[in-house]
């Protein structure tokens, strides 16, 4: 009988492996074309100059990010080169500060802290943090939040400050003195987060 001969199974193992590897190679070529910056599934880095909304798509029956009109980041339009440079720096921040060993990206990481994939699209920035920090834009609210996250959200105190390695700690501390003055107001917002009425 064939089945009793190891060589029969060896041939099966080799052929199934080769077939799968060839299929994977084709799929990889196809997938990489769609996920390169500017491909069908991933916008070019200059998307940072655009407004990005998160809207319900009734046809797909789920929420989708929608790229809208121009909306410069910190009031500035980035050229393609500058945008790529900014993205590169952001990626290096994520890697050098070991973000993925607490947070997740695309659901991949460490699950100890919130997923950051669509943190930019989170409704909390507009509904909670912009009024709370009295920031004019979402990016300013995020910057303020990141500087004072330990004071601003229960659980956010888990995030290390990386303070000893911050380039200009003195300036940070000066701003943090300003924080103390309006913290009583902020704490009312914090307790409000646990109420289900606030979305």
50-79 residues near other proteins, rule: CB under 8 A: 63
- Tell me the closest approach of the beta carbon of residue 34 to other proteins, in angstroms: 5
C-alpha span between 126 and 194 (Å, rounded) = 17
Do the beta carbons of residue 107 and residue 95 sit within 8 Å? no
35 with 42: CB under 8 angstroms?
yes
Are 84 and 44 in contact by the 8 Å Cβ rule? The answer is: no
Instruction: List, as own/partner pairs, every contact residues 170-173 make where C-beta atoms lie below 8 angstroms and the sequence separation is at least 24, other chains included.
Output: 172/147
Residue 105 lies near other proteins (rule: CB under 8 A):
yes
**Single residue of 57, 64, 112, 171 touching other proteins by CB under 8 A:** 112
Q: Residue from 68, 80, 123, 178 that binds other proteins (CB under 8 A)?
A: 123
At closest approach, how far in Å is the CB of 169 from other proteins?
13
114 close to 106: Cβ distance less than 8 angstroms = no
Q: What is the nearest approach in angstroms of other proteins to the Cβ of residue 40?
A: 8
Q: Within 127-186, which residues bind other proteins (CB under 8 A)?
A: 153-155, 157-158, 160-163, 165
């Amino acid at each position: 009988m064939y089945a009793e001969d190891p060589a029969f199974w060896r041939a099966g193992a080799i052929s199934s492996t080769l077939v799968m590897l060839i299929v994977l190679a084709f799929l990889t070529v196809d997938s990489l074309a769609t996920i390169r910056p500017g491909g069908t599934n991933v916008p070019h880095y200059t998307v940072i100059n655009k407004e990005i909304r998160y809207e319900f798509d009734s046809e797909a029956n789920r929420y989708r990010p929608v790229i809208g009109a121009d909306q410069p980041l910190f009031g500035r339009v980035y050229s393609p080169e500058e945008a790529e440079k900014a993205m590169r720096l952001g990626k290096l921040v994520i890697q050098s500060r070991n973000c993925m060993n607490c947070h997740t990206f695309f659901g991949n990481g460490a699950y100890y802290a919130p997923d950051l994939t669509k943190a930019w699209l989170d409704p909390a920035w507009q509904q909670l943090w912009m009024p709370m920090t009295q920031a004019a834009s979402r990016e300013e609210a995020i910057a303020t939040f990141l500087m004072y996250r330990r004071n601003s959200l229960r659980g956010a105190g888990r995030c290390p400050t990386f303070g000893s390695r911050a380039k200009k700690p003195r300036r940070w501390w000066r701003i943090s003195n300003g924080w103390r003055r309006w913290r009583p107001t902020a704490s009312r917002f914090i307790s409000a987060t646990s109420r289900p009425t606030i979305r």
